[in-house]
Structure 1
Amino acid sequence: MTDRDTFAQLRSDLFQPDRGLYVVPIRHHSPACAWALRALIRDIKPSQILIEAPSDFADKIPLLLDPTTKPPVALVALVDNAGERGRVAGYYPFCDHSPEYVALQTGQEVGADLHFIDAPAADKAMRGQLDGVEPTSLMDEQRFNSNDYTTALARATGCRDGFELWDHLFETRLGNPDWRSFFGDVGVYCAGIRAATPESQITETGDTNRESHMARAVKKALSRGGPVVVVVGGFHAPALVGALDDLPALEKPNGKTDSYLIRYGFRAMDALNGYAAGLPQPGYYQQMWERADIQTGPNTWRTLGVDILTEFATQMRAEGHQVPLPSQVEAVRAAESLAILRGRPGALRHDLIDGIRTALIKGETTAQDIWTTRFLTFLCGDKLGDVPVSAGSPPLVEDIRRRARTYRLDLSDSAQRRRKLDIRRNDTHLAASRFFHAMQLLCPSFATRIVGPDYLTGSRIELLFEEWQYAWSPQTEGQLIEQAVLGDELPNACLALLYRQRATLIEDGRARDLPALIDLLSRGLLAGLGAQLGPFVEQLGNDIQNHGTFASVTAALRRLMFVLQSAGPLGAPDTLDLRQLVNAAYGRLVYLCDDLPNTSDDDTQERLDALRMVNEILRDCDSIGLDRSLLDEALDRVAIYTENPVILGAVLAVCVQAGTRPAATLVQIMQGRLTGVSLDTADQIGVLRGILYTSPALLWYADGLLAVVDQFMCNIDEDRFLDLLPHLRLAFTGLNPRETDRLAGELAAIHGVQAGSLVTVNTMATETDLSEGLTIEKALRASLLADGLTDWITP
């Protein structure tokens, strides 16, 4: 039998009145399929309608048919993969023009029994679509767009992809009452896609098991009496039209599923910007559906195209982007002309896009140009559905909605909105800020801080205002449903999430990662958890007291001092004893100071960074009631016993800065180091490196220190200078540009020259050029010396 014969047989097998079986091949969210399916059901008046949707969603059918349900909506399954990867989320969306939703509505109209017949969402065959970390669709249709058959057919018809091909062949027939011819063509089209798909791929993706599950449901329905209408994705139709005997055994689901009916939105349904479920830019297809529904027949394509482009121009004007009337006329003319050339009854989606590009873009066009992006966003739409109260959203979602209303946040649709908050002077705004921070912790997609202090990095903390951008999208609602296991109220869920993240750190071998733990504490404070963080603070105190790394404890103490002194969103209530935590970190820092004399070369830089922070800690000790003398005494002991020259220089600098040692100590130590003949190169410069990294200003403020360094540099010969050069570079790297300029000024004053002459840089010469030049100069000097001609180069 040839492929032509096979396809002809399939066309006749889709509808079998003698068996009472009508297999309807559809594409998800196709208005043309939905229209033809409605006509079929009204003509056939079936006793049963079977729909390809997870069978464990069956109890949600009454909710979908509730008069207060307003698409777009989605059934979301939270699937527990039996410990494999925790819970994952799968979505099954419905909109007004979804054939499955139309089948439910029209089936109820004619009194049919309604059933979902696909494998349960927890079935391995369905979970295969949930392998990613992001929520995904339970109605994947990638083969419609990336299959050898559709690619070849698109090329033959002059279409650029499977989306345009589908519109060209089928959406142009929206409103046509001949459902037999329509579904016959859809069935053959989908059979071609299946024929171009390797059988091994069909098995590996779980389709074979799913089709076995659906076939059993069809067989059982036929035993109860027909007519039976089976609404399935066109790819599966060929597997359901033949004999339904000798079906393979089904695998038992090994996961647990919780499911909810939630509001959904066009942005999430967009196949190019969401969960790859159906056709892209659903707002466009919604307009097609509504126009055909009003006209009770085929669209007036020209009117539809003109209205879409006019509405786009109106919206752009409202957003401050003018579309001149001549450009609108040109867009319509270009779109209609292209549609005629492509053999279409009117301008379709791709024609309209091309018309906009022709009229509004000057120069080369790309998929990312601004006018194309704006038009695609417009075609996508921002409609957000609604569900009945009886849908039973988890308590966490309802609690968050209630809190949002309290702070006057508009969650009525999925549009992006902004809210400016005076977090220093308005308690209500401060509470709203903490709500946003809590939502960032629990559901990052809900809100983004555009302007305001960043308490986690310590930047711009002087700002008085925050500005947030937020949107209540289906993704937001889905993420919150996933987090519903954490608690029934926002604070409890955030607290549970913090403890879960702490447990993850421990599992990852980061149980002593103090910066990460304090970051969690800070996020909890920003989320307004306050006194609820008491046990967390107690555990953190134990972690600090058992920590053995000087640098980590120093950074932790500095961060905790900042938190203790903070107000605004990061401010802790009096009932949370952060002072005890600071005291624990301070005590541990003092204890670990005694390990500084044992610093290895590998740990030197890390401890240098920490000693620079010690300067800041000493400065703020008195203001928060820490006994500064404990740290002063510990550092003094380090200065006595330390042999590492870099650490010695850093500690002495801290002591001089703190006033516990005179500046003369630095001068004395530096002079001894620079003139010590038994010291190696690194040891000679090490003390200077420690001073410059920790307290560079001492070089010109400590009386006599700069003179000692300058005298040393003036007295060494060129060979010695070249030996010291790498170490000098490392030492002076600690200076910032302002400090470098200051040093140049001080040296200029000593030598009676202009400061600018000391900082002139030849940017044309590379380091290699400099090295080669010095080598040549050295050889030249040696040659002149051998010839007794050194007077030639003596000034």
Structure 2
Amino acid sequence: MSGAARLAEALAGFRGRARPSLEDLDEAAQATLCFADPAPMALIRRKLVIGERLGATPPDSPGTPVEADFEAQCRRLRLKPGADAGEITLDLRKETDLARSHFLNRLRLIGIPWGNRRQARGRGTFKEVWFLAWQPEWVVELVAASAEGGTVAEAAAARVRTTAQRATRVAELAGLIGTLLDADLAAASAAVVQALDDRAARSADVFDLMEALPPLAELARYGSVRASDTAPVLAVLRGLVPRAAAGLAAACQSLDDDAAAAATARIVAVAQAVALLEEAALKDIWQEALRGLADQEHVHGRVVGRAVRLLYDDRALSTDEAGDRLRRALSRAAGAVAAAAWIEGFLEASGTALIHGQGLLAVVDAWLCGLDAEAFTTLLPLVRRTFATIAPAERRAIGEALARPDGGRTEGAGPAFDAARAARVLPILRLLLGPEPATTEDTP
């Protein structure tokens, strides 16, 4: 021990200190007592320097209003702050569990992430899994939150209003609305919804509007699980979809490959969001925007191809119309690189259109076979990347179709009906099903 003390004093002298600091003592103890091994010193630091017991203030000591509300809520909801971490599963159909979820979400809004959401096992949106781990320093956050309200709910609502005033993007405000519904802060929700509506009316960034739509659509559809009022969210969506649709074609002009990929992902996400809402008026508005985008000649082929595919999946385009657009996009006049981008947007992540679309596979096959050697070598990586996104079972079905004698060029959905072969089974069907019932003409 004397050697450790002398070494600590020497280290302090080298560093210009009058007395050894905690850092000097740690290094001296590790060098002399632990033989320079950091593992025992880490145990000493955890057990002795830091410790594992939590202190507590006396029950009769004065505290801030938010602290008092926090303690009252913990007693009511049977949640005990402590060092022991653990996982809890909440059933949002139960009143107490729903209140616990609201409370933990409100704490996160004031900078106290006592609970962290985890993926719930099983189906159903009524279940939440939280991992609780309390940190003693969060008491300081409770004291600071008292400047914004008298309770945890009031402080959280004030903190969100401040964040909404500083937000510069519509997508950021859309995320705040979801957080408010999770925390059941209806008073603040009205202010944030109004801020989002005002910001969307002034925003010229169409992609920002599109990024805000999917989370809002999920809230409007599934927010009822928390017994939250989602009518304001639906009202915002009815204003955002027409704005995004009106500027879609202009926003997709002059995109490079990376920007086109990002735009395609946003278009697909908005299409899924509109389908989730199940409102015919919004669906018609978005489909009209996709039709205008599909008719553009100076838009990146990947974006146009995906627009055509979305219209085809929604039955807004027939198979013949989709085939005609595919043929025009893959013609020699369109250029090989542009054709590859178009086919990538049309087929990405699904080969169902090729398998079940009448004649679409034949058009793609004829385009590939008609490429010269140089163009085929250039486009082969792009085509391989596109088909790699198709599920293995679908790729196998496409290969089987191309291996048939017709090479997938059959225009119909299947082989032609053979009346002679069908007539052979009619006697057996009569025996199985019994004699046909007599009609009035057969009655004497």
Identify whether the pair has TM-score above 0.5, normalized to the shorter chain: yes
Aligned match for 1:392, one of 62, 65, 87: 62
Alignment of 1:596-635 (within 5 A): 598-601=253-256, 603-622=259-278, 626-635=281-290
Contact 1:618 1:658 in 2 (8 A): no
> 2:416: which partner in 1?
none
Aligned match for 1:590, one of 245, 251, 256: 245
The answer to whether 1:437 aligns with 2:66 is no
Counterpart-to-counterpart distance in 1, 2:52 and 2:277: 54
Counterpart-to-counterpart distance in 1, 2:273 and 2:179: 23
Aligned match for 1:581, one of 210, 218, 236: 236
The verdict on how the C-alpha distance between 1:718 and 1:748 changes in structure 2, with shifts beyond 3 A counting, is: farther
Counterpart-to-counterpart distance in 2, 1:416 and 1:748: 59
Aligned match for 2:136, one of 459, 463, 474: 474
Structure with greater Cα Rg? 1
The verdict on how the C-alpha distance between 1:752 and 1:395 changes in structure 2, with shifts beyond 3 A counting, is: same
The answer to whether 1:660 aligns with 2:316 is yes
Counterpart-to-counterpart distance in 1, 2:207 and 2:287: 17
Contact 2:178 2:215 in 1 (8 A): no
1:528 maps to amino acid: D
> 1:497: which partner in 2?
159
Deviation (angstroms), 1:724? 2.2
Aligned match for 1:747, one of 373, 396, 399: 399
The answer to whether 1:540 aligns with 2:202 is no
Deviation string, structure 1 residues 300-332 (Cα, Å, up to 9, x no partner): xxxxxxxxxxxxxxxxxxxxxxxxxxxxxxxxx
Aligned residue for 2:228, secondary structure, equals: coil
The answer to whether 1:554 aligns with 2:224 is no
Task: Indicate the structure with greater strand content.
Answer: 1
Alignment of 1:362-381 (within 5 A): 367=38, 377-379=46-48, 380-381=50-51
Counterpart-to-counterpart distance in 2, 1:445 and 1:279: 34
Counterpart-to-counterpart distance in 1, 2:139 and 2:354: 59
Deviation string, structure 1 residues 11-51 (Cα, Å, up to 9, x no partner): xxxxxxxxxxxxxxxxxxxxxxxxxxxxxxxxxxxxxxxxx
Deviation string, structure 1 residues 553-584 (Cα, Å, up to 9, x no partner): 2221111010112247766326x621111111
Deviation string, structure 1 residues 227-255 (Cα, Å, up to 9, x no partner): xxxxxxx759xxxxxxxxxxxxxxxxxxx
Contact 2:173 2:192 in 1 (8 A): no
Aligned residue for 2:247, secondary structure, equals: helix
Contact 2:351 2:395 in 1 (8 A): no
1:745 maps to amino acid: A
> 2:78: which partner in 1?
408
The verdict on how the C-alpha distance between 1:366 and 1:708 changes in structure 2, with shifts beyond 3 A counting, is: farther
Alignment of 1:493-532 (within 5 A): 493-505=155-167, 511-512=168-169, 514-532=170-188
The verdict on how the C-alpha distance between 1:695 and 1:521 changes in structure 2, with shifts beyond 3 A counting, is: same
Contact 1:442 1:497 in 2 (8 A): yes
The verdict on how the C-alpha distance between 1:741 and 1:374 changes in structure 2, with shifts beyond 3 A counting, is: farther
Deviation (angstroms), 1:534? 0.4
- Percent identity of equivalent pairs: 18
> 1:108: which partner in 2?
none
TM superposition score normalised by structure 1: 0.45
Deviation string, structure 1 residues 502-523 (Cα, Å, up to 9, x no partner): 3444xxxxx12x3322222222
2:268 maps to amino acid: R
The verdict on how the C-alpha distance between 1:631 and 1:392 changes in structure 2, with shifts beyond 3 A counting, is: same
The verdict on how the C-alpha distance between 1:694 and 1:376 changes in structure 2, with shifts beyond 3 A counting, is: same
> 1:311: which partner in 2?
none
1:428 maps to amino acid: T
Aligned residue for 1:630, secondary structure, equals: helix
Deviation (angstroms), 1:460? 8.0
Deviation (angstroms), 1:694? 7.3
Deviation string, structure 1 residues 650-697 (Cα, Å, up to 9, x no partner): 211111111111121221222233332x33322222321220237653
Contact 1:441 1:494 in 2 (8 A): yes
Higher relative contact order (CA 8 A, sep 6+): 1
Contact 1:423 1:433 in 2 (8 A): no
Counterpart-to-counterpart distance in 2, 1:728 and 1:634: 28
2:402 maps to amino acid: I
Counterpart-to-counterpart distance in 2, 1:538 and 1:606: 28
1:387 maps to amino acid: T
Deviation string, structure 1 residues 629-669 (Cα, Å, up to 9, x no partner): 22222322333344323332221111111111112122122
Contact 2:354 2:398 in 1 (8 A): no
The verdict on how the C-alpha distance between 1:726 and 1:465 changes in structure 2, with shifts beyond 3 A counting, is: closer
The verdict on how the C-alpha distance between 1:672 and 1:444 changes in structure 2, with shifts beyond 3 A counting, is: same
Counterpart-to-counterpart distance in 2, 1:661 and 1:450: 41
Counterpart-to-counterpart distance in 1, 2:25 and 2:59: 29
1:548 maps to amino acid: A
Contact 1:561 1:582 in 2 (8 A): yes
The verdict on how the C-alpha distance between 1:279 and 1:350 changes in structure 2, with shifts beyond 3 A counting, is: closer
Deviation string, structure 1 residues 759-791 (Cα, Å, up to 9, x no partner): xxxxxxxxxxxxxxxxxxxxxxxxxxxxxxxxx
Task: Indicate the structure with greater helix content.
Answer: 2
> 1:566: which partner in 2?
222
CA RMSD of aligned residues (A): 3.8
Aligned residue for 1:485, secondary structure, equals: coil
The answer to whether 1:693 aligns with 2:363 is no
Contact 1:650 1:691 in 2 (8 A): yes
Deviation string, structure 1 residues 499-551 (Cα, Å, up to 9, x no partner): 3333444xxxxx12x33222222222222213431011111112223333333
